[in-house]
Amino acid sequence: MFALVDVNNMYVSCERVFRPSLIGKPVVVLSNNDGACIARSNEAKDLGVQMAQPWFEVRHLEREAGLLALSANFELYGDMSTRMMTLVAQYAPRQEVYSIDESFLDFEGVSGDLVEIGRDMRAKVLLWTGLPTSVGFGPTKTLAKLANHVAKMADRRPGRYDARHAQVCHLGAADRATRDAVFAASEVGDVWGIGRRMSARLNAGGIHTVQDLLRADIATLRAQFSVVLEKTVLELRGTPCLDVDHAPAAQQQMMCSRSFGAPVTTLAEMVEVVSQFATRVTEKARQQQAAAGAVHVFITTSPHRRHDRQHSQSLTLPLVRASADTRVIVAMAVRAVQQMVRPGFHYAKAGVMLLDLRPQGQQQAELDLFGTAEAAPGAGPSRLMAAMDTLNQRFGRGAVTVASAQHQARHGQHAGRQQRRSPRSTTRLAEIVTARA
DNA sequence: TCTGGGGTCCTAGGACCC
DNA sequence: TCTGGGGTCCTAGGACCC
């Protein structure tokens, strides 16, 4: 039996732990430039705020309805996530950390009443971290996900699902009538793996609820959609197609991208920002002892500014030798933007992606054919890069960087607006919570 | 004025192989 | 006149996830 445990409205809940006055109020957490809502409290959802909705569209609710907005504080969320994951891992032999706020647990071989175990786990996470969670159990990951959705909705929207499912829902133990009631009350779009596009197509074919989907002919579904949907339906029927991935393979790619606080119009500015992104993503690669085989860079104007001339372009540059050296990656990224940036455009976003990641130091001997060995600083863990990482860790990001990123590091003009960020209470001593006597 | 930042997997089509 | 067929690998793009 599988469980899916996740934190309700994760980012908002993290903020509430340190600012209890936010409890019960409509709260959103904003993306990097304070641009869009990336997390909403239930109260904010009830006001009609949508996921990823631009802040300027809902800003009027600040006055009209007391909506509160905070800048994202990922350092805090990441740390809270680790605490919560460590706690729930103790309840089952195998865990897959699926996202910052979600974890699959495999209860194979565990005896006892799972609903009771789920309630105990919820209570402990709440007591020890302050984070409210929902727990769903099912014989497949997809059913555990659905059960989790039911647990949350039964708590939030009494009437849609049986109140007994609130907070902890076990679809694997439910009798047939109970399960059917859940399937009939769930829309296909509520199912893990069925997004907006597929929902629309399924709806057009008369399939609206999970019950409809389970009654449909699976071969036809596979032919008209894909094996992905076929697997999803099999999982909903109780046939496991997906296992808990407790030892995930190393990442294949990683990215650093950002929308700009102000449009970038010149090559010189673009070189600065992209150098910064390249620096950051290479740092991340080194943390995972990975080296990149290729660098992918993209730049784009804002598709939302309809009156602007649009330009989106990307370029992938292969590396002769895999590298995790900031100088090498920045040089490639700069070369890419030099080929792409055109005058007269207002660029709104750019990103640097490292592709074809492999363990650092794993070099193929035949590449030395090119005689690049002595000029290949990315070949192993470089002392220079290690020193740079240490300095930046101690003195703050950007303390030491490559020259082309320097201007940005000093001025941070494209670093983005983040005017509403809360203290990083659990990871910075200087920002620790003060209790009044 | 102002619109997130990460990832994964699957498929189709082309290049290339024998 | 008539010009193979099957396999693999790679890439781009699309769909999904949070």
Span A387-434, pLDDT tens digits: 888 888 788 777 787 777 665 444 344 545 677 889 999 988 889 888
Across all strands, nucleotide nearest A194 (CA–C1'): C16
> Between helices A267-287 and A403-411, what is the axis angle to 10°?
100
* H helix and E strand count, chain A: 16, 13
- A195: nearest nucleotide, CA–C1' criterion: C16
Q: How far is the CA of A254 from the C1' of C14 (A)?
A: 19
Strand C close to A77 by CB, under 7 A: no
The amino acid present at A388, given as its one-letter code, is: M
Q: Could you tell me the pLDDT band of residue A282, with boundaries at 50, 70 and 90?
A: very high
Count of CA atoms in the C-beta half-sphere (13 A) of A155: 17
Which pLDDT tens digit goes with each residue over A366-375?
A: 444 444 444 4
Q: Are strands A2-7 and A133-138 parallel, antiparallel or unpaired?
A: antiparallel
Average pLDDT over residues A19-33: 95
CA distances from A136 to A3, A46, A152, A194, A246 (A): 5, 23, 9, 18, 18
Work out if A209's Cβ lies within 7 angstroms of strand B.
no
Is nucleic acid strand B under 7 Å from A375's C-beta? no
> How much is the pLDDT for A386?
87
pLDDT digits (tens, 9 = 90+) for A134-149: 999 999 999 999 999 9
Tokens 């992606």 sit on residue: A353
Q: Which residue is nearest to nucleotide B1 (CA to C1')?
A: A56
Query: Is strand C in 7 Å reach of the CB of A34?
Result: no
DSSP 8-state symbol, A118: H
Tokens of A69: 């907005």
| A99 CA – C17 C1', rounded, Å | 9
Mean pLDDT over residues A62-78, rounded? Answer: 96
SS3 call for A262: strand
pLDDT digits (tens, 9 = 90+) for A308-318: 899 999 999 99
- Could you identify the residue written with the tokens 């990871």? A427
Residue A35 approaches strand B within 7 Å at CB:
yes
Is the pLDDT reported for residue A178 higher than 60? Answer: yes
Q: Where are the beta strands (DSSP E) in A251-404?
A: 254-264, 290-301, 312-323, 347-355, 358-359
Task: Give per-residue pLDDT as tens, A77-111.
Answer: 999 999 999 999 999 999 999 999 999 999 999 99
Structure tokens at A45: 């959802």
Gap from A252 CA to B8 C1', Å: 9
Q: Which nucleotides of C are covered by protein (CB under 7 A)?
A: 12, 14-18
What gap in Å lies between CA A15 and CA A357, rounded to an integer? 34
